Structure 1
Amino acid sequence: MKNIVLFFSIICLTIFGCDGRYHRHNSNVEVLKTNHLYEAFSKQLEFLPEGPVEIKTDTILSNGFELHLKYTTLDKEYQKMVLKSKATKELHFKNFGSELICKKSGKVIFEQRIEKSLFSAFETPEFWDKAIMQFVWIDYEASLNEKVSLNTSFYLPESNSYKDFTIEIHSDGRWYIKPNSFVSKLI
């Protein structure tokens, strides 16, 4: 009987002796740091845009061109930007791509996926590793009788700058890419 009482006393002392009093004066941050969990709890992940994006544009121009443009997010392609403060914040900018079908008088003259690789000749590989496609839009004013013009813009999140390009598609199916430089003039 004495052995049973002694056994239960030892078990009770062991259980009540492990109540975590040594953590009583530690802050939550100190406890997380000692357990190597502080970085996991202080990191914030944010994806821009948060969800999938899909924009479809079907346009018939007065010059006989028909454009079918499907602009979507590429969920597996993104550019990471890390902001440091009390908590580390990681912004992940999702990249975009567009499916373009161009018709003239009902006949398909141009079909292309528009994404960063199409513009690789105009910048360095380092630029394209960091760039995110932002927009693709029809330039109605530059679209003449024998051609249609589209503009696209690429964004560099780290420097907050843009590079713009024009895609010209001619009625015989020839197409060209030209870089744009919009410079404001002071009067």
Structure 2
Amino acid sequence: MSKFILNKILPLFFLAFILLCFNCDGRDSIKKNHTQVLEENNLIQEFSEQVTYIPETNLETVTDTLLSSGYKIHIKTYFNMDSSVLKTRHQDSLNLKSYYRNGLADVIISTDDNVLFSKTITKTFIRENLSKPIEGLKSFILKSIWIDENTALNGTVIAIQMEYCIPETQDCLTFKLSVKTSGEYQLKQL
């Protein structure tokens, strides 16, 4: 029996092993480019797409201002990590996706004894408080928010200005939030 294994089966096994080794040398894929190999293995999407989030982590800025008229203005800006605006572009064979996070701003205007205004500024806040709706506001993100110094000095109205822009463009909208000493407020587009 052992002679039979040595004479008949072992050479066949050895021959099969050699054929297996020489047939898996990659000759069939050597003439293909990387894209074709990735497409055959259903991996093209993983290597042809680059995704970035701007910002990658949450950033927060707090500004506290005390006016000579006695008003305190607290503005805290941060990003909604669950909401973003997508911008896509193609470069060479790559599909570049940039997710720009939507900015939020908590604005509190107060005096020593009471709070006149306390709201979070979002695109929803702007849409709900403008007298005339703006088409396409969802493609804009909060770029900056600041105190209007000209109105802050008169003492009867505190004005906060906000700039919303479409990412990667110069297309921007500016809004002015005017808060009276009675707590009433008005929002308008400049």
What TM-score, normalized by structure 1, do the two folds share?
0.87
Q: Tell me if the contact between 1:104 and 1:171 (Cα under 8 Å) persists in the aligned partners.
A: no
> 1:88 aligned to 91, 95, 107, which one?
95
Q: Distance in 2 between matches of 1:154 and 1:101?
A: 20
Residue 129 of structure 1 corresponds to 138
Counterpart AA for 2:108: I
- Specify the SS of the correspondent of 2:149: coil
Residue 75 of structure 2 corresponds to 69
Q: Tell me if the contact between 1:66 and 1:106 (Cα under 8 Å) persists in the aligned partners.
A: no
- Specify the SS of the correspondent of 1:25: coil
> 2:115 aligned to 101, 108, 114, which one?
108
Residue 57 of structure 1 corresponds to 63
Q: Tell me if the contact between 1:71 and 1:97 (Cα under 8 Å) persists in the aligned partners.
A: yes
Q: Do structure 1's residue 165 and structure 2's residue 171 form an aligned pair?
A: no
Q: Tell me if the contact between 2:86 and 2:99 (Cα under 8 Å) persists in the aligned partners.
A: yes
Query: Offset at 1:159?
Result: 5.5
Alignment of 1:21-60 (within 5 A): 21-60=27-66
What TM-score, normalized by structure 2, do the two folds share?
0.86
Q: Distance in 2 between matches of 1:123 and 1:132?
A: 16
- Specify the SS of the correspondent of 2:78: strand
Q: Tell me if the contact between 1:45 and 1:91 (Cα under 8 Å) persists in the aligned partners.
A: yes
Counterpart AA for 2:37: V
Q: Tell me if the contact between 1:63 and 1:146 (Cα under 8 Å) persists in the aligned partners.
A: no
Q: Calculate the aligned-residue CA RMSD, in Å.
A: 1.8
Gap change, CA 1:38 and 1:160, over 3 Å in 2:
farther
Q: Do structure 1's residue 174 and structure 2's residue 184 form an aligned pair?
A: yes
Query: Offset at 1:34?
Result: 2.7
The structure with more radius of gyration: 2
